[in-house]
């Protein structure tokens, strides 16, 4: 492990036990104060720690968001698991579960097709926001200000000739996603793959995850993939009901 990373994690663990001064942290880490101060300034800039008026350090607000995301993803994955298995067995196709984390959409579960066809997606890896069904679902659910910031920052890489490659087109697509309650990836990320996705919500209607079904066109064409929507929507509704 990187020495700087190890020290930063030690600082967080120490602050988890209570507030500390710079001198106390330097003593606990066994390093010079300038080394600790450099780490603290970086962590403070990203809100992992905060400094009060007495120049004592405490855990920062960024950790609240991370803790909520970790807890939420764990709960969503656990609740969704039996429903994802049922959907996978019923359709025979690849099923994904994804969640929003710090401006990215992360795959948190995946059940491969029963037909020995493997997709490149991996659990723990980000999904492209502009050309995957789960990416569109979760981006569409973000507050407008955050959504617009993401739209302005994306590089809109063209994975296929069908990929959305500009902010205006993606903005229109996200409006459609919110209006109809599901998203599509029509050979936008991989030329041979079509996908549909739908949101999982909590008791307040807040989107906490997205489920998708992905099918290579050698098995089903796009219109046939759309016929899987009722099963997908029934699955996300069941997960949402259990989540609440």
Residue range 115-164, pLDDT digits in tens? 776 677 788 889 999 999 999 999 999 999 999 999 999 999 999 999 99
What pLDDT digit, counting tens, does each position of 174-189 carry? 999 999 999 999 999 9
Q: What is the dihedral of CA 115, 116, 119, 121, to 10 degrees?
A: 110
For 108-143, letters b (16+ CB in 10 Å) and e give bbbbebeeebebebeeeebbbbbbbbbbbbbbbbbe
pLDDT at 114: 82
pLDDT at 158: 97
Query: Would you say 79 and 243 are in contact if contact means Cβ atoms under 8 Å apart?
Result: yes
What pLDDT digit, counting tens, does each position of 231-243 carry? 999 999 999 999 8
What pLDDT digit, counting tens, does each position of 188-205 carry? 999 999 999 999 999 889
* Of 5-9, 63-67, 161-165, 166-170, minimum mean pLDDT range: 63-67
pLDDT at 74: 76
Average pLDDT over residues 94-114: 92
Which of 20-23's residues contact partners 24+ apart within 8 Å by CB, and which partners?
20/56, 20/57, 21/55, 21/56, 21/57, 22/55, 22/57
pLDDT at 138: 98
* Of 78-82, 83-87, 111-115, minimum mean pLDDT range: 111-115
What pLDDT digit, counting tens, does each position of 34-82 carry? 999 999 999 999 999 999 989 999 999 888 878 777 766 678 999 999 9
> Six-digit token pair at 64?
């609240």
Query: Would you say 151 and 168 are in contact if contact means Cβ atoms under 8 Å apart?
Result: no
Q: What is the mean pLDDT of the chain?
A: 92
pLDDT at 204: 87
Question: What is the pTM (predicted TM-score) of this model?
Answer: 0.73
Average pLDDT over residues 201-223: 94
Q: How confident is the model at residue 109 (pLDDT cuts 50, 70, 90)?
A: very high
């Amino acid at each position: 492990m990187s020495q700087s990373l190890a020290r930063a994690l030690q600082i967080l663990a120490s602050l988890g036990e209570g507030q500390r001064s710079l001198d106390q942290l330097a003593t606990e880490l066994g390093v010079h104060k300038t080394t600790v101060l450099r780490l603290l300034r970086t962590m403070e800039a990203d809100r992992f720690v905060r400094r009060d008026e007495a120049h004592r350090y405490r855990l920062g607000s960024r950790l609240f968001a991370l803790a909520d995301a970790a807890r939420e993803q764990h709960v969503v994955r656990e609740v969704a698991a039996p429903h994802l298995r049922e959907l996978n067995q019923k359709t025979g196709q690849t099923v994904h579960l994804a969640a929003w984390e710090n401006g990215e959409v992360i795959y948190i579960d995946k059940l491969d097709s029963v037909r020995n066809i493997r997709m490149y997606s991996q659990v723990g890896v980000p999904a492209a926001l502009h050309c995957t069904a789960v990416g569109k679902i979760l981006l569409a659910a973000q507050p407008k200000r955050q959504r617009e910031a993401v739209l302005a920052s994306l590089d809109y890489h063209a994975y296929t000739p069908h990929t959305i490659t500009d902010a205006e087109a993606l903005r229109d697509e996200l409006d459609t996603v919110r209006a109809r309650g599901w998203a599509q990836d029509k050979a936008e990320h991989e030329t041979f793959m079509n996908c549909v996705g739908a949101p999982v919500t909590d008791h307040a209607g807040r989107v906490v995850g997205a489920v998708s079904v992905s099918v290579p066109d050698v098995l089903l064409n796009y219109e046939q993939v759309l016929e899987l929507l009722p099963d997908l929507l029934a699955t996300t509704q069941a997960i949402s009901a259990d989540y609440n």
